[in-house]
Structure 1
C-alpha cells in the first residue's frame, strides 16, 4: 500500500513515521521549508515509546507522482481547503482518504470535494508537538488511531489499511461504528479544549476545584444537548463516559488548542465550538458556558491578528 501523508507535523509526522518505521511505503507531502528541514535532520520522533530518526520520502505540491492508495490527512481545519488543492492531483478512483481531524464538519467538506465513497472515518488520540528544531515530541503514553468505513462495512480496502497499521509502534483500532466514535471524540475534544483554553490551565487544577469541575460538567452537558438535537449517535450514558475520560487524564494534560494559544498560533474555534454553537443558536438551546468558551477564543483570534 502506497500512503501519502499530507504534512509532516506533530500528528501526521508521528503516525506516518511509525508506518515508515515498520516498512510501509510512505511519502510526505510537505512545504519547501519543512522539506529542507527534513533533508537536513531527518524525521525525528522523540517519544516515550522510543526515539527514532527516519529518512522520509517527500514531495512538494505539484510534483509528478502516481496516485496513492491512501491519503492520511491531519491538517488543522483552517488549512483544510488549501490542503485539498495540494493533494488533489494524487487522487484517483481507487484512492481512499483518511482524515484525523477533530470535529465532524470536515467529513462533509471532504465528501463534497472528492466523493463520499472515498472517505474513511478516522480520529486519533495523541499529545504531540513540534519543537524549534522540527522534532516530534511525545511525552504522554497514548498514541491511538481509530478508523473505519462510514458505512460500518468490513471492506477490502479497510482491511488493507488495518494490515498497514498492524505491527506499528502505535495503537490502532478498526471500528464497527466510526460515526459514533467521531461524535464521542468531538464531544470530548470540544469539552477538553474549551475548558482548558477558558481557564488557561491544564485539566488537573481545573477539575480538582469544585467550581471548575462543575463548569466542566456544565459545558459537556450543553454540548451533549446540542448534539442530541443534531441526531448524533451518542450512547445513553455518554455524560458519565465523558467525565470518566476527563478524570483519567494526567494532572498536567493540556489540550492541543491550549498549546497552540500558548505558542500564539491559530485555533480551530469555528470548526469545533462555533459549529455546535451555530446549531444551538438556531435551535434556541441555551449554552452559556459554550458561549463563553467561543467568545474567549474569538477574542484571542482578534488579538492575534492585531499582533501579527
Structure 2
C-alpha cells in the first residue's frame, strides 16, 4: 500500500517504519531537526521487538509535497489536527481514507469538519514510544497495538486492507464493530495515566502505590466513564475499576506522554485530556471535579516553558 504518515514522532514514526520495513510505500511528513535527520539517514526505530531503519527518501516537509496515497495515518499532537485536516483537503491525498492514531475522543470530529464522513476511519493505538533524538524513535516495552474499525459500512474494505498491512508489518492489530467504544476505552485509561503522572510528576508505579494518588487515578477515570455513558457510549459503569486493575499490571516505570512533555517543557495535550473531560462534563451536566482540578493545576504549563513567568 501507499501510505502517508503525518507526523514521524513516537507513534507515527514507529508504525510507519514497521509498515515501510514490510515493503509498503510509506512517506512521512516531518519538520525541524527531525526532518533533516530522517532526510540524511532515514528514520531509526529502536525496539525490543527489533530495530528498523527507513530509507532517507521517505520523508517530506509538508502535506502539499505528498503524492497520491491509499491511506493516510495522522499522528500529530491534537492541537495540530485542524490545520492538518485543512491541508489534507487541499492536497493530492484529499480523497484518501484517513486514520487518526492520536489521543483523545475529539480527533475524528475535528477531521470530519474538513474531510468527508466517508474518509475518516475509527481507530486507537496503544504504545509507549518517543523521539529520543532527531531521527531516532525509541519504543518502550513490547506493547504496540492498533484497533481500527469502520464508522460507516462503506469503509469496511479499507479497514480490512489496512488491518492486513499492519499485521503483515508485525503490528498487533485488531478490528472492532464498535470502534467508538474502543476509542473511549483507551481515553478513560489515558486520561487517568496522564492526569496522575503529570500532576504527581512520577511514573505509574508511584501513583498506584499511594492510597491518595491511587484514589485520584480511580476518580479521574470514573469521571471519564460517566461522561462516556452520558454521551451514549456503551461503557460498563464499573469500567474504571477494570482499568485500575490494568494499571496494576503496567511496568512501574511507565509514564504518559503528557508527563514526558511536561518534564521537557513542551506543549501539553491537556485541553483534550482532563480538560476535555471537564468541558464535555459541563456540557452534559455531569460532575467532573477531579479532572477540572487537574486541568486547573496544569494550566500554567499548557503552552510549555514559553508560557513560564
Unaligned regions of 5+ residues in structure 1, if any? none
Task: State the Cα distance separating 1:27 from its structure 2 match.
Answer: 1.1
Indicate the larger mover: 139-148 or 152-161.
Answer: 152-161
2:40 corresponds in structure 1 to 40
Structure 2 CA distance for aligned equivalents of residues 303 and 70 of structure 1: 32
2:234 corresponds in structure 1 to 233
CA deviations 1:80-99 (Å, max 9, x no partner) are 12222443302244x10000
Give the match's secondary structure for 2:53: strand
Matched, 1:253 2:281: no
Task: State the Cα distance separating 1:285 from its structure 2 match.
Answer: 3.2
1:187 corresponds in structure 2 to 188
Task: State the Cα distance separating 1:59 from its structure 2 match.
Answer: 2.4
Indicate the larger mover: 185-194 or 171-180.
Answer: 171-180
TM-score normalized with structure 2 length: 0.92
Indicate the larger mover: 201-210 or 31-40.
Answer: 31-40
Task: State the Cα distance separating 1:78 from its structure 2 match.
Answer: 1.0
Task: State the Cα distance separating 1:66 from its structure 2 match.
Answer: 3.5
Unaligned regions of 5+ residues in structure 2, if any? none
Task: State the Cα distance separating 1:199 from its structure 2 match.
Answer: 0.9
Give the match's secondary structure for 1:248: coil
1:10 corresponds in structure 2 to 10
Structure 2 CA distance for aligned equivalents of residues 54 and 182 of structure 1: 29
Counterpart mapping for 1:145-294 below 5 A: 145-151=146-152, 155-294=156-295
Change (3 A) 1:16 1:285: same
Could you say what the CA RMSD is over the residues aligned between the two structures, in angstroms?
A: 2.0
Indicate the larger mover: 95-104 or 244-253.
Answer: 244-253
User: Does structure 2 retain, via aligned residues, the 8 Å contact 1:219–1:289?
Assistant: yes
Task: State the Cα distance separating 1:24 from its structure 2 match.
Answer: 0.9
Change (3 A) 1:211 1:31: closer
User: Does structure 1 retain, via aligned residues, the 8 Å contact 2:266–2:303?
Assistant: no
CA deviations 1:99-124 (Å, max 9, x no partner) are 01111111111112101110111111
Task: State the Cα distance separating 1:303 from its structure 2 match.
Answer: 6.8
Task: State the Cα distance separating 1:152 from its structure 2 match.
Answer: 6.8
Change (3 A) 1:35 1:287: closer
Structure 1 CA distance for aligned equivalents of residues 102 and 285 of structure 2: 28
Structure 1 CA distance for aligned equivalents of residues 160 and 134 of structure 2: 36
Task: State the Cα distance separating 1:286 from its structure 2 match.
Answer: 3.0
1:118 corresponds in structure 2 to 119
Change (3 A) 1:116 1:300: same
CA deviations 1:199-228 (Å, max 9, x no partner) are 111011111112221221122222222222
TM-score normalized with structure 1 length: 0.92
Indicate the larger mover: 21-30 or 163-172.
Answer: 163-172
CA deviations 1:2-43 (Å, max 9, x no partner) are 110112111101100000001011111223643321122221
Indicate the larger mover: 281-290 or 132-141.
Answer: 281-290
Structure 2 CA distance for aligned equivalents of residues 108 and 213 of structure 1: 32
Aligned length: 307
Indicate the larger mover: 239-248 or 14-23.
Answer: 239-248
Change (3 A) 1:62 1:269: closer
Task: State the Cα distance separating 1:64 from its structure 2 match.
Answer: 5.0
User: Does structure 2 retain, via aligned residues, the 8 Å contact 1:29–1:59?
Assistant: yes
Matched, 1:84 2:85: yes
